Chains A and B, each alone.
Chain A
Amino acid sequence: MTAALTISGLKKTYKGGHVALKGIDLDVAQGDFYGLLGPNGAGKTTIIGIISSLVNKTAGSVSIFGHDLATEPAAAKACLGLVPQEFNFNMFEPVIEVVANQAGYYGIERNEAFERAEKYLKHLDLWGKRRDIARTLSGGMKRRLMIARALVHEPRLLILDEPTAGVDIEIRRSMWRFLREINAAGTTIILTTHYLEEAESLCRNIGIINEGVLIENTTTKKLLNTLRMETFVLDLAAPLSELPDIENQKLVQLDDTTIEADICRDDSINALFDELSKRDIRVLSMRNKANRLEELFMDLVDSGNTRAAS
C-alpha cells in the first residue's frame, strides 16, 4: 500500500547558512497517527513547511499518497490538510467565510462549501460563532477554527503543528477525542506537540528529530518499552523522621510525608512495599512522577547531542 507520506533525503539550508534539515527519510503509513517530536529548533516546523509548500526545500523529495510534490503539486496538495502552529487566517473575516473560502481554494462549489463548513463548525462547537469576526474568538476557539478549516476539503492526510498549545485541559481532551474519531474514520494524522503526554496518548508511531536529524522512528509501544526506570511518588500516612535505607533501592524524600522511588521495569514494586511495611511505613497513594515519554525523549535528545559533540 502506498504510504500516506514519503520523505526522502530531505535537506533544508536557510539563507544565512542555518542548516535546519540534514537529510530526513521518513515513511508514514496510511491510517497512522504519527507523532513528530523534538525540542525547539529541531526542524519539525521546517519539515511541515516543506510538506505544505510553505518552505522551499534544498534537496530531497516529498510524496503525499504517491503524488510527488514537485511533479504533481495539485494532486499532492489536494490530499493534505494543515493546522499550523500560529494563527494564519484572515482575522477580519466572519468565521464561516474562513472555512468556506478554504473549501473554495480546493474547487468545492459554494453551496457545498457552506454545507461542509456547517458540518465541521458544529463538530468543533463553533457553529454559534459562525457570523462572528474571527479575531473576536478566544485562543481555544481560534485553534478549533483552524482544525475546521483544515478538514473542510476532507484531506486524507492531516498535519497538526502543536494544535493544543495554549488551550485548557477540557478543550485539549475534547480535541483529542475529535482527532481519534477522524483518525478512526481513515484520516492519517501527523502531530507535532510539546505535550509528550499528548503524543503518548494519541500516537501509534513516533519520530524524534533533533538538530535536523531523525534520531528515532518507531512505535510508541517499543519506544516506551526501552525505558528502564520509572519514578513513582509515594504519599505516606505519617511523617517520616528519617529516610529508610533499603538495599538496591534509591529513595528521595520530597517532604515529611512524600518520598520518591525509582523502580526498574524488570523489578516488582511489591518488593518496595514489603520493605516499607516492615518499617511500619504506610503508603496512602502512589503516582508516576514524570511523563514516561518525556523522560525518554530527554534521554534520546541528550544522547544525540553528546554524539554530535563527540
Chain B
Amino acid sequence: MTPRAKLVALRTIATREILRFSRIWIQTVLPPVMTMALYFIIFGNLIGPRIGQMDGFNYMEFIIPGLIMMAVITNSYANVVSSFYGSKFQRHIEEMIISPTPNYIILIGYVLGGVARGLSVGVAVTLVSMVFHPLNIHSLGVIISMILLTSILFSLAGLINGVYAKSFDDISIIPTFVLTPLTYLGGIFYSISMLPEFWQTLSLGNPILYMVNAFRYGFLGVSDINLAMSYMISIGFIAVLYVFSLYLLRTGHGIRS
C-alpha cells in the first residue's frame, strides 16, 4: 500500500468511527454531560461551599479539571471498547482484516475515534462547567497536551479490552471494577496531600492521579505531582499499550482462529 493509500484507509476508519458515535449522540455524548452537570450541582454548588478551600481554590474550581478528565477517560475508553467489540460481534472487523490496511492503521483509526469522542465530551463538559464557574486557564499547552495523551492512552486500553472481550459483560467489567475506582481515587475530588502518608504513597501507584494533576495544573497552576513525571508516565503507558495492541492485532488474538 502506498503512503497515500494508507492515509485514505486511516481517514476511512476514523471517519467511520466518528460517524458511529455522532449518529447516536444521545447515547454517547449527552449522558456524560448530564452526569457531570449533576456533579457540578451536587459537589460544587451544594456540598462544595461547606468543604471550603482545597489547595487554595474553592471546591468547585478544584474539581472542574478532574471531572472534565474523568469524562474524557471514560468516554475515550468506552468508545473504543464498544466499537471494537461490536465489530467483532457483528464480524465486520473482517472487512479490515481481509484488506491490505496495515494493523497499525487499523489501531490508529480506532484510537482517533476514541480521542474524537473523548474530546467532544470533554469540550461539552467544559462548556457546562462554565455555567457554574468562570474558566481559569494557567497553561493551554498543558491542558491540550494532557487531554490528548490521556485520551490516546485510554483509547488504547479500550481496544485491548475489546480484543479480549468475549461477551458484552466483558466490556463493562474493566470500566466498572478498575477504571471507575482508579478515576475516583485519582485525585478528582481531593488533594492527596490530605491523605495519611501510607495512602499518599499508595495513590502514587495510580496512573490516573498523574493525569488528573497535570490537567489541573493546566487550569489552576497547582499539582500534587511533578509535571514532568506526569508526562513521562502518560507517554510510557501509551508506548507500552500501543506495542501490546499491535501485537494483539498482528497475532489476531480474539479475532482469528
Residues of A near any B CB (own CB < 8 A)? 14-15, 49, 52-56, 73-75, 77-78, 80, 82, 84, 86-93, 97, 101-102, 104-110, 113, 149, 153
Contacts and interface: CB of A to CB of B under 8 A. Distances in A.
A101 B96 CA distance: 10
B182 interface: no
B84 to A, nearest CB: 13
Given A80-B98, A113-B12, 19 more contacts: A14-B257, A54-B257, A82-B98, A84-B94, A86-B91, A87-B91, A88-B95, A89-B90, A90-B87, A92-B20, A92-B23, A101-B12, A101-B95, A102-B99, A104-B9, A105-B12, A106-B99, A106-B100, A107-B4
B1 A74 contact: yes
Contacts of B221: none
B8 to A, nearest CB: 5
A33 to B, nearest CB: 21
B252 interface: yes
Contact of B98 (A54, A87, A92): A54
Nearest to B7: A107
Contacts of B97: 52-54
Given A77-B100, A105-B12, A107-B2, A49 B257 contact: yes
A42 to B, nearest CB: 17
Contact of A78 (B96, B100, B252): B100
A53 B90 CA distance: 17
B5 interface: yes
A110 to B, nearest CB: 7
A148 to B, nearest CB: 13
Contact of A101 (B16, B23, B91): B16
Contact of A74 (B19, B92, B96, B102): B102
Contacts of B87: 90
B203 interface: no
Contact of A55 (B9, B11, B95, B256): B256
A88 B94 CA distance: 7
Nearest to B96: A105
A25 B1 CA distance: 29
Nearest to A76: B100
Contact of B257 (A55, A92, A101): A55
The bracket for how many chain B residues form the interface is 20 to 34
Contacts of B45: none
A292 B1 CA distance: 46
A49 B98 CA distance: 9
A106 B12 CA distance: 10
Contacts of B1: 74, 78, 107
A155 to B, nearest CB: 10
B77 to A, nearest CB: 21
A105 B91 contact: no
B94 A54 contact: yes
Contact of A106 (B5, B13, B19, B94): B5
Contacts of B92: 88-90
Contact of B90 (A91, A97, A105): A91
B9 A52 contact: no
B257 to A, nearest CB: 5
B126 interface: no
A105 B16 CA distance: 11
Given A54-B256, A104-B11, A88 B90 contact: yes
A162 B191 CA distance: 62
A221 B20 CA distance: 50
Nearest to A150: B98
A53 B20 CA distance: 26
B101 interface: yes
A92 B82 CA distance: 14
A74 B100 contact: yes
A14 B257 CA distance: 7
Contacts of B102: 74
A144 to B, nearest CB: 16
Contacts of A106: 5, 9, 99-101
